[in-house]
Chains A and B, each alone.
Chain A
Amino acid sequence: MEKSSSLSENINAFFAEIGELTYFAGRYFREAVSPPFEFREFLRQCYYMGNKSLLLVGVTGFILGLVFTLQTRPTLLEFGAVAWMPSMISISIVREIGPVMIALICAGRIGSGIGAELGSMRVTEQIDAMEVSGTNPFKFLVVTRIMATTLMLPILVILGDFIALFGSALIENIKGEVSFLLYFNEVFEALEFSDFFPATIKTFFFGFAIGLVGCFKGYNSKKGTAGVGKASNSAVVFTSMLLFIIDFIAVFVTDIFY
């Protein structure tokens, strides 16, 4: 009896949170289109999220390309299909692995950062101080961050994809004596608009989800330092789950149109 009541409470809490998140997203769209616009803060956030994530995305992408190629090579060799390596790797990375892996990395770095930052601003009354000084904190803190993640994530993914392909090309160059020029010729021959376009579109949604959930958790965090930790942690967990749901929908929709 107790277990079922606890389960129903959890389900209620989950749907209540989904409702609050939807309301929060609605407020974002309302505030995003009404002046004044906080361009300065938006640019600062773009710099912070983009520039400061470059190294992490670069290293992750490079290792992803290396490992993926190293793991795949023996199997392709066995079937005498190693010539397919550039096309196989590029399609896998550009369509699926690159966007999802880099979005997950960014959910950990950017999403948790936003959750912790806004949570600690809430706890230390900085958000109240902003409101008192005649600033709309939602517009200044939330709108700018969601816009920045939505814009920066596709750029980071494109960059990460390229670095992953470079890592793959490096392995092929060392192990298979394939030149970089030949490798990238094969890559660009294999890739089509239908591989690149839907994958890039979905990264805008990934970026939006990372910003939205991070801001939602941080902005609404409860008082106390434990609330900040919880906001940061649940931002990552919730965003990761949401990324896979968005990815599933994106693949499903792409499958219908392409």
Chain B
Amino acid sequence: MSLIFFIEKMDAQQNSSTNKKGNPVIEIKNLYKSFGELKVLNGFNLQLFEGENLVLMGKSGSGKSVMIKCLIGLIEPDSGSIEILGKDISKLNQKEMDELKAEIGFLFQGSALYDSMTVRENLEFPMRRHQNKIDIKNADALVMEALESVGLAKAIDLMPEELSGGMQRRIALARALILKPKIIFYDEPTTGLDPITAKEIILLMENIQEKYKTSSLIITHDVDCARVVSNRMILLLNGVDYVEGTFEELQASKDPKVQAFFK
């Protein structure tokens, strides 16, 4: 994955049409969440369309992480509705919610690999939980396929502590992919990585979207990452106000609050 290839991908992305919208796979309407007096989300709306890469940028404390945790049920919103793949998550029971989670991959900021398990066990873990979706007899083949897609097949029997930060992130990406999800959430996918490894991760995200046709919601502070992977962007200013557009549209904005993200 050379730098030239990276730049070519970047240009291709910039030239691609951003107006192709399929069916919404995620729809958030009027989402409110407060912690005591602090209003974090105040009537937030969002739509993520099929096959789309939506980048969500915002400064720290603007409610990005709270929003994504509301989406996967780690935090309960005060009010508002969240529909994922046409299902209102507030109306799902635990079993239905668990089944829905099989359709969602999540790349955590710190990779969040289970450090008492090998790479193989880390990847097998979600499969064991969703045996109705995945045939566990094919576990080895699926693990190898996921590892090959991130270029780390040789790391299969290593422990997370034996891997570098970049390798851990790639394994975490393989784990997010193992159930072949329809949606992937990326929480700061390039944070804490050196620029070269960050570019490798960005390219992987691109390749994954092309190969698996996933819809992705990407939280990032990395402008380069946003430029390459985004079809559409939302800049969250403070959980209440936000602006939406393509990377180019937002970059060209005269609004100083928007411009601050690109400087």
Contacts and interface: CB of A to CB of B under 8 A. Distances in A.
Interface of A: 117, 120-121, 124-126, 128-135
Interface centre among B106, B108, B112 (most CB of A within 10 A): B112
A135 B112 contact: no
B106 A129 contact: yes
Given A128-B69, A133-B129, 12 more contacts: A124-B115, A126-B112, A126-B114, A129-B108, A131-B73, A132-B74, A133-B101, A133-B125, A134-B98, A134-B99, A134-B129, A135-B129
B72 interface: yes
B130 interface: yes
Nearest to A123: B110
A112 B98 CA distance: 32
B104 A132 contact: yes
A96 to B, nearest CB: 36
B109 interface: yes
B102 interface: yes
Contacts of A134: 98-99, 101-102, 126, 129-130
Contacts of A117: 116
Contacts of B98: 134
Nearest to B109: A125
Interface string B160-203: 00000000000000000000000000000000000000000000
Interface residues of B, number: 22
A126 B73 contact: no
Contacts of B116: 117
6 contacts: A124-B112, A126-B113, A132-B101, A133-B126, A134-B98, A135-B129
Mostly, the A contact residues are helix
A122 to B, nearest CB: 11
Contacts of A120: 115
A129 B104 CA distance: 12
Nearest to B105: A132
A135 B108 CA distance: 16
Given A133-B126, A134-B129, A134-B130, A128 B112 contact: yes
B90 to A, nearest CB: 17
A129 to B, nearest CB: 4
Nearest to B117: A126
Interface centre among A126, A131, A135 (most CB of B within 10 A): A126
A228 B242 CA distance: 36
Contacts of B106: 129, 132
A21 B104 CA distance: 33
A129 B114 contact: yes
Interface in B109-137: 109-110, 112-116, 125-126, 129-130
A218 to B, nearest CB: 13
Contacts of B110: 124-125
Nearest to B187: A125
Interface string B91-109: 0000000110110101011
Given A132-B104, A133-B125, A134-B101, A126 B130 contact: no
A132 B101 CA distance: 6
A120 B74 CA distance: 18
A135 B102 CA distance: 11
Contacts of B73: 131
A129 B101 contact: no
Interface string B43-77: 00000000000000000000000000100111000
